[in-house]
Amino acid sequence: MLAKLNGLAPPLSVARLVEHDYLPKRLVDQGYSLDGELRVHSQSYGTLAGMSRAGVPAAAALEFITTVAGLPGLQIGGLLSHLAIADSCREWARRYTGKQFQTFIGITDAIAGNTGHDNTPELHLANSAGIIRYDFPGCTMARAGIALYGAYPDVDLYPKIDLQPVMSVKTGIVLLKTLPPGQSVSYGCTYTAHEKIKVALLPIGYADGLNRALSGRGEFLVRGQRASVIGRVCMDWTMIEVTDINAVAVGDEVVIIGRQGDVTITADDMAATLGTISYEIFCSWSARIRREYLNTHDSNPGIN
């Protein structure tokens, strides 16, 4: 978290910044340059305190925070760790999460008794799954992630809370053509028409973040009906079959993720097709995709 507050510092990696105690000193320097005091949130991890990823090892947390708290220009504004398996409903996962919480609280209690600061730091542990599934007494903040998209950390959490999708991915038909039997589509000739079909060309491909593994497997929505991806997804183009979709026309909206009429394709649906998780689906779209941020207070959830 400290590294995120400080931004990127190439060519040094975050691990080297922490290893050489460079980052807190740099934050102090920035605090002086701002003629004020910086509030920082420090992350702890350990075998049972987090994910063994970024952050300060649980065994070293007290010494680290005590040192940082003594630096001029810095104020410990928060302490955090991150849940590793809160999305799982398995009993061993619940026990693991409980141990993470107890270890985290033990660390924060020890820190509170040794830093001597008057200001009580914010404590936050829960991610989206933690917010939905657990209660963490003593924590004053939470860090919602995928739930902000109206999506679930795990399908087992569907009955726990009603979330509405807030993100959709759309394109449009730019060309329609009829192919005779025996005609192949796209690179590699992986799809060949067995009868006369109507094909729609879409101006989106893997350079836009559309996963190439959707070749011959994906489905999109056109006029409220599902249309199958045929042939390989190209860098800039994708083809779908629209033979049985009445009145289809150039300019028609094509929904890749989202709702059209009474039919919905979710990020979870696409993730299941690709054998991955919805998190990857949400963050895979490239800068070529135009973003539109809409106020949906007066519209139906899940459409925009």
CA distance 237 to 185: 12
Identify whether residues 130 and 237 lie together within a single domain.
no
Identify whether residues 151 and 175 lie together within a single domain.
no
CA distance 107 to 103: 6
- 129's enclosing H/E stretch is helix 128-133
Identify whether residues 258 and 130 lie together within a single domain.
no
pLDDT at 175: 98
Identify whether residues 131 and 18 lie together within a single domain.
yes
Does the pTM surpass 0.85? The reply is: no
pLDDT at 144: 95
pLDDT at 78: 87
CA distance 265 to 269: 6
Q: What DSSP state is assigned to residue 247?
A: T
Summarize pLDDT for 135-163 with one digit per residue, the tens. Answer: 999 999 999 999 999 999 988 887 788 99
Residue 129: CB atoms within 10 Å: 25
Q: How many domains does the chain have?
A: 2
Give yes or no for residue 259 having a pLDDT over 50: yes
pLDDT at 11: 43
The boundaries of the domain holding residue 118 are 2-160
Identify whether residues 138 and 72 lie together within a single domain.
yes
Give yes or no for residue 278 having a pLDDT over 90: yes
User: Looking at residue 197, which CATH number applies to its domain?
Assistant: 2.40.37.10
pLDDT at 304: 30
Residues near 233 by beta carbon (within 8 Å), at least 6 away in sequence:
186, 205, 206, 210, 211, 212, 214, 215, 218
CA distance 302 to 293: 13
Last-in-domain residue among 106, 130, 160? 160
pLDDT at 9: 44
Residues near 229 by beta carbon (within 8 Å), at least 6 away in sequence:
214, 215, 216, 217, 218, 219, 220, 238, 239, 240
- 65's enclosing H/E stretch is helix 61-69
Identify whether residues 128 and 221 lie together within a single domain.
no
Identify whether residues 152 and 233 lie together within a single domain.
no
Identify whether residues 205 and 110 lie together within a single domain.
no
Last-in-domain residue among 103, 125, 160? 160
> Among candidates 161, 172, 293, 294, which has minimal Cα distance to 242?
172
Last-in-domain residue among 142, 160, 178? 160
Residues near 301 by beta carbon (within 8 Å), at least 6 away in sequence:
150, 164, 165, 166
Asked, for residue 291, whether it belongs to a domain, the answer is: no
Identify whether residues 81 and 189 lie together within a single domain.
no
Identify whether residues 228 and 262 lie together within a single domain.
yes
**What percent of the chain stands above pLDDT 90?**
62
Asked, for residue 192, whether it belongs to a domain, the answer is: yes
User: Looking at residue 116, which CATH number applies to its domain?
Assistant: 3.20.20.10
Confidence of residue 76 (pLDDT cuts 50, 70, 90): confident
Residues near 141 by beta carbon (within 8 Å), at least 6 away in sequence:
78, 122, 123, 124
CA pseudo-torsion sign 153, 157, 163, 164: positive
The tokens for 52 are 């063994």
Question: Which is higher by pLDDT, 119 or 33?
Answer: 119
Give yes or no for residue 98 having a pLDDT over 60: yes
Asked, for residue 297, whether it belongs to a domain, the answer is: no
Confidence of residue 60 (pLDDT cuts 50, 70, 90): confident
Mean pLDDT, rounded, for 82-86: 93
Asked, for residue 294, whether it belongs to a domain, the answer is: no
Asked, for residue 296, whether it belongs to a domain, the answer is: no
* Least trusted range by pLDDT, from 3-7, 78-82, 264-268: 3-7
Amino acid sitting at position 138? G
Mean pLDDT, rounded, for 6-32: 52
Cα 164–chain centre separation: 16
Mean pLDDT, rounded, for 111-137: 83
Packing angle of the helix pair 91-115, 61-69 (nearest 10 deg): 40
Identify whether residues 134 and 64 lie together within a single domain.
yes
